[in-house]
Amino acid sequence: MSEFLNARWELPNTWQWVGIGEIADVIGGGTPSTLNAGNFGGDIPWITPADMSAHIGKTIAKGARLISAKGLEGSGARWLPKGAVLFSSRAPIGYVAIASQPVTTNQGFKSFVPAKGCDSDYLYYWLTSAKPLAEKLASGTTFLEISGAKAALIPFPVAPAAEQTRIVEKLEELLSDLDAGVAELKAAQKKLGQYRQSLLKAAVEGALTADWRAAQRDGRKGKAASTESGAALLARILSERRSRWEARQLAKFRDQGKAPPKDWQAKYPAPVAPDTTGLPELPLGWVWASVEQVASDERYSLSIGPFGSNLKVPDYREEGVPLVFVRNIRSGKYGGVHTKYVTPDKADDLRAHSIAAGDVLITKMGEPPGDADVYPDGEPLAVITADCIKVRCWSGLMLPHFLKSVINSYIGQRQIEPMTQGVAQKKVSLGRFSSLAVPVPSFAEQIEVMKMVAAADNDALVLENAIEQSLKQSAAQRKNILQAAFSGQLVPQDPADEPASALLARIRAERATRETSAGRGRGKKGVSA
């Protein structure tokens, strides 16, 4: 523990650094067997890190599920008393809340039951700022996790009990206004997200360009150019696709010196047509197509990242041909942020998974899968990794950015959700994704749609950046307040306060007595403290 404590800042003379385990019992959790339905649906509150991900507020009373007494007895879950401080120890590390009533948790927590004289609120506020310290103690390959023994070593600045109370009072005074401002910013951020979804909905359903279509019909903008409808465009491309396949087959027969067999044209692998059940009615001239129908007929135009041993960590290099990961697609960050590469020879081996500017990239895993982006102009040839999907659109049929908009809209997401399978990791297969239905307007209208979306999105981006900057400023302000609190600078010290050393001595003595007392009840379940 000394390596952590020695790196900590100087405290007032009446304070003392300890590991949290010296002032609190560290209690883990467990999950009842899901094979027995009787383990769930009882009256015992049971909390998981997933319950904490969207939780707002300092206290928590229950999670999404309840467990039964039988489930509690047959698992590693244990009762935690009111006032216990819940701390998620994996997936992810650092969610914090105070139990407002007796609760239990799954194994994703190392919770702390503070000793008398150590304020739960004081411990809560410390843990909200101590995530970096906790992560230094974590280990694991699949995901980082803190064991109970390591959680006990998390450094903790013990202030005199009376000063803890004053610090908490001052923190709640200062942070209440700050948190209210953050809540308003996040509400604005949510509304902005809703606006963007509304924009995409209007774009892919044709509402955004309704006036443009009317102008094209009545010639209000001069003599209207002859515009091929989406339905006619798709029909033409599908016919061209078949003709190109037939030409390739005939060339193959000629090269082999063979005459075309009887009914050879019947073997044409027609791209799957979309299932449009439950999808909205499209404007006149628009038509539904599948992703496979709008994809180019070039080889590898519709593909996923390399599987298994085709690309392994030992293949990674510090320079060469960049690799694109799921995180790149979600963040929309490519140029200048590539961290892993493969050699040109390896990239050639993986040419089925290569991508170029204009390719639409989709995440095939996640919570949920289905985030889409377009690999931008100016980026070099790259290779997608596992759990990514690539679509290269048929030129002149579907704009890549229009397809991206459809996938990211409610039309795409509502179709992807039932396609998703898996327990540990939810994924959508390439086969299922290929059948996803996309609306096809005229190519001219696609261009107009994306002009309108880009203009509106630029305005939204300005606002989004302003919100993000304000949130960063608020986070920095909160960090400064907490730092002042836990370095003894937020409230004045009172010489009359009992020093932390006396508090710690009393806690140690009480623990020693408890540990030697008969009937201590160590490990008993079903009894709330």
Chosen CATH of 271-441 out of 3.90.220.20, 3.40.50.2300, 3.30.565.10, 3.30.479.30: 3.90.220.20
Same fold, 2-160 and 271-441: yes
pLDDT score at 226? 63
CA 22 – CA 101 distance, rounded (Å): 24
pLDDT at 518 over 50: no
Q: Which of 42-51, 65-74, 354-363, 366-375 has the lowest mean pLDDT?
A: 366-375
What does the pLDDT read at residue 21?
96
Query: What is the average pLDDT across 284-309?
Result: 94
Residue 257 banded pLDDT, cuts 50, 70, 90: very high
Percent of the chain predicted with pLDDT > 70:
93
Residue 69 clears pLDDT 60, i.e. is over it: yes
Fold of domain 2-160: Adenine-n6-DNA-methyltransferase TaqI; Chain A, domain 2 (3.90.220)
Dist CA 286 CA 65 (whole Å):
45
The residue ranges of every structural domain in the chain are 2-160, 271-441
Q: What is the dihedral of CA 350, 353, 358, 361, to 10 degrees?
A: -140
Helices (H), 108-147: 120-129, 131-136
Q: Name the nearest CA neighbour of 31 among 88, 91, 75, 80.
A: 75
Q: What is the pLDDT of residue 474?
A: 95
Supply the pTM of this predicted model. Answer: 0.69
CB 114 within 8 A of CB 83: yes
% the chain with pLDDT above 90: 76
527 has a pLDDT exceeding 50: no
- 400/326 Cα distance (integer angstroms): 18
261's CB contacts (< 8 A; 6+ apart) are none
